[in-house]
Structure formats: C-alpha cells, structure tokens
Structure 1
C-alpha cells in the first residue's frame, strides 16, 4: 500500500481549496484565486494547469481594461460543471430521495419515491438503494464513470467511522453496516452522515455563516436533530457521529418518543408529536403517525390561525420545550449562532413567542445575547446540499 506523503496531503488540500473557491465565487482570474486562498502564484499555476488537463476547469478569455482599452485581458477560470457529478440518497421514514449535483454543487436532478423502509432487512435495504441508484442514472442518462461519489444522508444515529447506521426510525434493524457493501456493489466511494449534520455543513457553506466558528444547526421536521460546529470543526462524537439534541429529556414521564424513551424534546416538537397531540383534539385525516405528510402539517398551521384554537396551545407547548432545550445548549456551548431550519420551520411562527420567552427565562445573565437564535427558511433542500458538500470534501 502506497504511503501518502505530507507533500501530497498539502497539494491535495490546496487543490480542494482552489475548487471550493471557484464553487463559491464563480469565474476568477488566477490572481483572484490567490487573494481568496492565500496560495502562492506558482502553486496556483501548477494546480490549475493540472485541473485544466483533467477537464475540471476551463479557461475563458476576459475583457480588456474598460478605461484604457490596453493591456492583456485577464484569463478567467471556471468550473466545467458537467465534467463530474455527485449523487446523494436521503433515507427517511418510508421514503428514499435521490439527488444529483454537478461539479459546482448545484442540484440538477431530484427524484423521491415511497418505499416501506421500516419493514426492510439490511440486505433488502441495500438492494433497494442499489436498484434506486441504477434506475435514477438510467432515468437521467448519467454516465457512471462521471460519478465521483455517493452520499447517504440518514435520519437517526450514524456510526462515527462512517460505516453505517447505529439507530434510525427509518429502518427496521440497528447497527446496519451499509457503506462497505454499497461500495462493493456500486463500485463507487460511499459516505454516510446524519441528516442534521448535513444541514450544519450546508449552513456553514453559506456566506453569512462562513466566519462563524461556533454554530449550532437545529433541524425541525419529522424529528428534531442538531449539528454542531465548535472551533470551526464539525463535532464528531466518540462512537456516534452526531449529537442527539432531540433525545435529551424535557420530562422523565412525558410522551413516548420514536427512540423508545419518554419525554424527549422530539416527543413534543417533532412533526409526528405535534400531529399526535392534534389528533387527540381534532378529527384529522388518517396519517402515517411516524411521518405525517407536508400537507397534513400545513393544515395544522391553518388550524392555529383560527381564534382561540386549541392548536395554538399545542404549538405553544412545542415552543416552550424547544426554548428550554436551546437554553441548555447555550449553557453548554455558548455558541455564536443557533440556526433553526428544516421543513418544520413552517410552524416556527406559531412556536416562536413561547420559545423566546422560555429561552430568556432560563439563560444565565451573561448569555442574554441578542440575535443568537435565528431561522433559515426551508426554501431549498439543505440536507441534500450538505451531503453533496460532504462527498465533495472527500473526493475533490
């Protein structure tokens, strides 16, 4: 086995920096790449020449100086977006979503299919994922040799070494070793991550959060998750790769959570919990209680808008529980930013007042900071963008 030298590691890191800079800023001259990366002109020239030979970036002739019309025009470099692709699979309760992104990280194709994931054995799940993979490539006529890697974003707890799933409400078994088998069958590098960590990575790539060294990403949706950046590094636990904010306790004798315990934050704030409580009051349509639909959750928002609606109390309770949980997070980590996102932010306006008042009541005096907690609307699929970014980090 060939040993990788320090020089090769440094060059690989510099290569990733250049590609990532072009992703973030678009077309740039070599001197501009140097301004962003602080790499030497010789290093930039050497690496960009290699990337041009590999057809990963393209040279474009710039314009002459607009004022004088003199001088040589700057040669601009840009990514050859169709040179390679990255594929992601989102595995959630009874649903598999496939996402394709180009070299720039832009999502270009997406397909979601219903699969009874909670009934599948490990081998059946692998078979379904492989069949979905092949069918997706055929549907969009994607050449396999252009794929750089596959990312698997999973609801639940993933193993720290990236081998598989320790626990997930989306699957039947526990400690599923998926990655190695998928790599063997698909002949492609495979990377796995918890969906909340994916959201944390996607948020950190946004311009407004790139300089935030300690950031907490709270995911609201079918469940409640958390991704954590500390000292500008994504936190990875000793055994599990993600934190479990949703499964910290609000009440020892509270309602049952999907994890089997009682009184978890998720058992009050997750979509399934809110729909469960609403079903006890309203005559609601029958639903998959672990995975109510987007329309069913939006209907609850409409109920909350009615005067003196009991639904308002359900959302107030959820906001209170969320606020106390965030107060604990601030006491533990004192982050610069807590960003709430995920599909569940659709209901955030109905929770916000209770959340903020509970948060303020339970903070230590020196944590009374303005603008720490904010919302990032779910206008794009941050889970998909995050797992694509993780694959890029490993394969650029």
Structure 2
C-alpha cells in the first residue's frame, strides 16, 4: 500500500484538495469565502468547484435552504457542501473477540454499524483478511448496500503497524510477526484498503471531528485493554521512521518488570493496561477481576485493589508528565473505553501529571478526558478512511486502483 501522490507539485490537485478541505471544515460555505480562506483566486475557486460539482463530490445549497447570515444585507449567497452520497467508507476495528464495522458517507454521517464475532484472539493473516472482508460485506448487506459500493476500507489494529506500508510488525490480532496485511486485504476487496494503528486512527478522528479540530500539536492517549498513543505534530500524523511511533504502552516503567503481551518486560501496559491490571490483581489473589471490579473493590477498601491501582496510577502519571515535557503539546486527549469513570483518569492523577511536568511561565498543556464506548475505534477508522478516499478523489484516481 502506498500513500496518495503528493499534490504539492501539481497546483490543480493542490487547489482541489484545499477547496475540498475548506468545504469539509465549514460544513457549508460560499465560493467567495473559500477564496478568502484558502488564498486561491475567486476565478480558480469557481473553476475548481465546477469540477467538483460535475464529479458529484459537492452539491449546491440554494439560498432559501440556508439560515440567513446575521447582519448581512442583500440576497443570500449560494453555498456549497460535500455530497454525502458521493462516497461510502467502511471503518473496521479488529478487537480480541469481535470485528466492528462502521459505515459512513462522505460527510462522516453514520449509515450503520455491524459487529461480527471472532473465533480466536490471534489469527493467521489469510484468516483475518477473510474475516475483515466478510464482516464488511455483512455490514453492507445489513444496511442495504453492497461491498462494491464501498469506496475505501480502513482497518485499525492494535500493535506496531506501519500504516504507510500496510505492514504489521506485531499485533495481538495475528498469530505471527512481520505480516504484509494490506496486500492480503487488497486482494480480497474491490476498493482501496488502508491499514493503521488503532490509536493513530482515534487521533485522526479527534483531528477531523473532535477536540483536536484546529489544533496543530496534540496527543491522543487511548486507554483500554492496552495503552496506545496517536501523535499529531504540525497538523500531520507522526508515524516515525518504522511506522511505530506512539507505542506508549510499551514504554518501560520497571526494569525487568512484569511480562507484557509484546514479549518484553516492564512495559506500562503490563501495569496500567486493562490486561495488566487484571494480571497484577490475579497475582495478588484477586482473580477474574475487571477494571470496574477493581475500582469498586478499591472503593470498598480492599488492600490488594488499592495497591494495584496506586502502582498503576503512579506509572501512568509519570509517563503522561514525560509526554508533556518531551512534546510540549497544546492538548492531550485521554480517550478511555469506559462508560463513565476509569481508575487511571482521576482528578488526582491529572494533578500529579501537572506537578511532574516541566513548569514554565505559560498556560499548561490541557488534558481532556473523553469516556467512549468501543465504537471510538471504528469511528477513528472511518475518519482516516474519509481522509484517504478524499485524497484519491483529489487526484482523480480510479476507486478500484490499489491504495
């Protein structure tokens, strides 16, 4: 899998991309405002929007369909918006026991959700590729679409994923290391397939639709079974030289410490991830405890739960403080898979982060806790899928062409 061609050396593609992004960000916008926001001449904006209209990517909003602009005199201007029906995108999240598929239109509006059970935690590459395409096909059928209607499929996996190459260095969803999964998926799907680390996808969702909208430098830390991180620097997703940037859960907090599912010892996940908390509690005598069970046991005064969670909070707070010191981000979003509270994301932990972070005479990094259900992973996949499908539309590449 390769990234879409860089548009910087093609002024027309560059302009098409700028215009589409301006329309997406505004929701509905007049041509004169597109020209003002992008710096593109009004005549060029008119020509580019005529192209996009003829291709069915955008549509007109007649003045009578819009709310009047406050304080503006005269006839309301015709506005443009994305045409939702232009593209169908599937976002897929592979979890331990389920594959979740979310279908959205070109604007990001939800069409429908489907969940398909997995028979095993770690699958052979061909088996997993078959299951992903089968789940996407079933999602389409459930919501009155066909797989052939899908313009792009974006798959999120936990683990060390080089999204630019479609290569998985390691993932708990696979039974082996170093797998070129994107080609296996592309051979089974009638449309481009994009592969990415699941935490990176949540970061893209925050950038396009959430708290990171309009923020150039921010981090998203995901907290669930494991702990991941997506990094947005200068408005771009930072993957690193090998595509493994952001593996926060595998930063070392204890020398030769607890065994992590990645095979190494002392990782943050082994102490503060969902499986790490359960493992530490079981070793101390509290077996078959969920994270919520541990939180309730701590509230009831259980000494084992108190010790396990106290240790986890200390490691988590120190690592977050190091992120603030190293990256100096405007914002850190803690995206937590929980319906309400989580024992790692308490006011006391956030205060400890502030105390441990490098202090300067400027406003501190904002830390925003977002409690989400398990849909957040599939939503992240659709966000990145929309971005990649939009890039293909900008290039006018055939949708059947491999990404």
TM-score (norm 2): 0.84
Aligned-partner Cα distance in 2 for 1:68–1:243: 47
Cα deviation, residue 323, structure 1: 0.8
SS at match of 2:205: helix
- 2:88 maps to 85
RMSD of aligned alpha carbons: 3.0
Kindly indicate whether the alpha-carbon contact (under 8 Å) linking 1:165 and 1:178 is maintained by their aligned counterparts in 2.
Answer: yes
Answer yes or no: is the 8 Å Cα contact 1:158–1:165 preserved in 2.
Answer: yes
- Which residues in structure 2 correspond to 1:1-396 (within 5 Å)? 9-63=10-64, 71-159=74-162, 161-206=164-209, 208-280=211-283, 285=288, 296-307=290-301, 310-343=304-337, 346-348=340-342, 351-353=345-347, 355-356=349-350, 358-366=352-360, 370-378=364-372, 381-396=375-390
Supply the distance in 1 between the matched residues of 2:151 and 2:339 (Cα, whole angstroms).
33
Q: Distance in 1 between matches of 2:71 and 2:232?
A: 48
* Structure 1 residue 183 displacement after superposition: 1.4
Q: Report which stretch shifted further, 13-22 or 83-92.
A: 13-22
Structure 1 position 343, deviation (Å): 0.5
Of stretches 94-103 and 130-139 in structure 1, the one that deviates more from structure 2 is 130-139
Could you list the per-position Cα deviations for residues 4-57 of structure 1 after superposition, in whole angstroms to 9, with x for gaps in the alignment?
896883333332333333333322222233343333222221222122222222
CA distance in 1, matches of 2:145, 2:56: 17
- Matches of 1:329 and 1:222 in 2, distance apart? 21
Separation in 2, partners of 1:6, 1:112: 37
Q: Secondary structure of the equivalent of 1:209?
A: coil
CA distance in 1, matches of 2:8, 2:297: 61
Instruction: Number of aligned residue pairs: give it.
Output: 384
Q: Tell me: CA distance 1:10–1:386, structure 2 relative to 1, closer, same or farther (3 Å).
A: farther
State the alpha-carbon separation in 2 of the partners of residues 171 and 367 from structure 1: 47
CA distance in 1: counterparts of 2:321 and 2:6, whole angstroms: 45
CA change 1:81–1:192 in 2 (3 A) is: same
TM-score of the two chains, using structure 1 as the length reference: 0.86
Whether the 8 Å contact between 2:103 and 2:110 is mirrored in structure 1 is yes
Structure having greater relative contact order (Cα 8 Å, sep ≥ 6): 2
Contact 1:202 1:383 (C-alpha < 8 Å) held by counterparts: no
- Which segments of 5 or more consecutive residues in structure 1 lack a partner in the other structure? 288-295
Q: Is the 8 A contact 1:105 1:385 kept in 2?
A: no
Greater Cα shift, 96-105 or 39-48 = 39-48
* 3-state SS of paired residue (2:59): strand
Instruction: Give, in angstroms, the shift of residue 238 of structure 1.
Output: 1.1
Alpha-carbon distance change, 347 to 249 in structure 1, aligned in 2, over 3 angstroms: farther
* Alpha-carbon distance in 1 for matches of 2:266, 2:282: 19
Q: State the Cα distance separating 1:232 from its structure 2 match.
A: 2.5
Change (3 A) 1:28 1:5: closer
